[in-house]
A = this chain, B = another copy of it.
């Protein structure tokens, strides 16, 4: 179905992600150890809190944050605390998201609520959130009051967009919405994916890395980053949803797309519900709770998506947004070329920064896992 043969430089992407993952995980585990060592701290909670961070996530958000800091001319290690906070927010969000969606596996293992039950998992998500706040408060020591407060404002905006996007998605599943178009999807995706996973990490990275002290001086580049992240995020999310559908199609015997079972309103599901002649049967299948959907149901939905061009539509829309992101990235001249290492700089990978951000555009659409 894909005719273009664009690839991304896997070496650059993986080196940057691996490097950041290690640094951010160290920071998170040091924080968990610090809080665990407070006299009277309740130890078993901290065992649970170390679980998700120790599973191997992509580390996309921290890497974007630190790369943008460096591409803006700043020292990458100054963004480490904020990056670790973003990763902790992400873990907290995942723990609750998995409960809300009834998901069964996360990063190759059972979801937390499957392991410890919903009550303890709800509390562990809240506790992970507290750790994130603690890092943002610590951040004042590293980057000064003005920047730290600007970062706090960004995080508040991100978190508000994320809970709004989540509320939209949960309401759609609850009312079995079958009347949604691309624009509805973009609105939800902007809130739940673009701000959360792309725009805010890069904006925070730029705020920390930029030499400009006043928020007003940052407004033009921050707006450019927002536009860029919006298109990049939409391309990423559609591709993520396509992988959930098609990745499993190739492997017979394995569960077909968990998203179909969860009733997730992807661009492709909205498209097939609007275009299929079998829409009555599709609606009836989607109305059923996860446990009452059969493998045959899921295969039927997927076959209809294929027949109605819904998958092709997804690929096309993702590519349009990736191209737009690439075009916008070309104009972001306030992001320097790879910044040279300077005295005191602890980040040793020259592959990070602007080149990583550029490759990211291809990565989000052409990655296969």
The verdict on A170 contacting chain B, using a C-beta distance below 8 Å, is yes
Q: What copy number does this chain have within its complex?
A: 2
Give which listed residue, B122, B152, B163, contacts A96 with CB less than 8 A: B122
Which A residues from 30 to 77 make CB contacts under 8 A with B?
A: 35, 40-42, 44-45, 48
Which A residues from 78 to 130 make CB contacts under 8 A with B?
A: 93, 96, 99-102, 117-120, 122-127, 129-130
Give which listed residue, B35, B149, B168, contacts A160 with CB less than 8 A: B35
Give which listed residue, B117, B134, B140, B156, contacts A137 with CB less than 8 A: B156
Residues of B within 8 A of A168 (CB): 42
Contact of A96 with B126 in the complex, beta carbons under 8 Å: yes
A residues contacting B by CB (< 8 A) are 35, 40-42, 44-45, 48, 93, 96, 99-102, 117-120, 122-127, 129-130, 133-134, 137, 140, 145, 149, 152-153, 155-156, 159-160, 163-168, 170-171, 174, 187, 190-191
Contact of A44 with B167 in the complex, beta carbons under 8 Å: yes
Contact of B137 with A167 in the complex, beta carbons under 8 Å: no
Contact of A40 with B187 in the complex, beta carbons under 8 Å: yes
Q: Which of A117, A140, A164 has the most CB of B within 10 A?
A: A164
Contact of A44 with B145 in the complex, beta carbons under 8 Å: no
Residues of B within 8 A of A156 (CB): 130, 133-134, 137
